[in-house]
């Protein structure tokens, strides 16, 4: 698996240090009350697990399955909600976590839905944000790292379901992306 990686973009120690400071930012912004955290599966799983264990606030964890990539390296342009039920967020403060902000369609679509469902407030956090023009006007409140516009894997991010368990974020060799 590691042989398929052309270069490591962000190593484990750097990610861990950044998560410490992101957790402090979240604690500072949400001083009271219980927060509902919504983790977008599967990409944000690793990031969220490591981040949330650092957040010293009462919180409930929910997960949502959404799909926009359908397995490859290009966004399909459509965001599908795959779950039968949607978390109960009416009147609640929500922290929405995703792995990466790319076209912005996913965060936009889920944020709109959370507001329709009556969330009192929605904050968004991503491990990575690609430095590019977005299809939707959206920005995350918490961003781990800004990266260039290239396809990355590891630390929860996949290519065709693989590489999520790499402990770092890296770029795939072109011959591995087939």
Catalytic residue IDs: 102
Identified binder of ligand XMP from the candidate list 8, 54, 151, 176, rule CB under 6 A: 151
* 102 contributes a contact to ligand XMP by CB under 6 A: yes
Residues 21-50 that bind ligand XMP (CB under 6 A): 40, 43
Binding letters toward ligand XMP, positions 54-93, x by CB under 6 A: --------------xx-----x------------------
| Closer to ligand XMP by Cβ: residue 19 or 101 | 101
Tell me how crowded residue 159 is: count the other CB atoms within 10 A of its CB: 20
The C-alpha atoms of residue 68 and residue 106 are separated, in whole angstroms, by 7
The C-alpha atoms of residue 89 and residue 144 are separated, in whole angstroms, by 25
| Shortest Å, Cβ 31 to ligand XMP | 29
| Shortest Å, Cβ 32 to ligand XMP | 30
DSSP state letters, 134-158 = -SS----SEEEEEE-SS-EEBTTB-
Strand 80-81 vs strand 59-67: parallel, antiparallel, or unpaired? antiparallel
Alpha helices in the chain (DSSP H): 12-29, 45-52, 105-116
Residues that bind ligand XMP (CB under 6 A): 40, 43, 68-69, 75, 98-106, 151-153, 157-158
């Amino acid at each position: 698996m590691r042989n398929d990686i052309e270069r490591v973009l962000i190593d484990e120690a750097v990610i861990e240090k950044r998560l410490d400071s992101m957790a402090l930012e979240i604690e500072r912004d949400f001083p009271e009350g219980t927060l509902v955290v919504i983790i977008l599966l599967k990409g944000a799983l690793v990031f969220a697990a490591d981040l949330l264990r650092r957040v010293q606030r009462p919180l409930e964890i929910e997960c949502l399955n959404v799909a926009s990539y359908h397995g490859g390296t290009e966004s399909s342009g459509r965001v599908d909600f795959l779950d039968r039920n949607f978390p109960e967020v009416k009147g609640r403060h929500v922290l929405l976590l995703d792995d990466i902000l790319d076209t912005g369609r996913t965060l936009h679509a889920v944020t709109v839905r959370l507001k329709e469902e009556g969330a009192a407030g929605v904050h968004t956090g991503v491990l990575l944000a690609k430095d590019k023009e977005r299809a939707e006007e959206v920005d995350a409140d918490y961003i781990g790292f800004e990266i260039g516009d290239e396809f990355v894997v590891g630390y929860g991010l996949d290519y065709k379901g693989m590489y999520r368990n790499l402990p770092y974020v890296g770029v795939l060799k072109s011959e591995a992306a087939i």
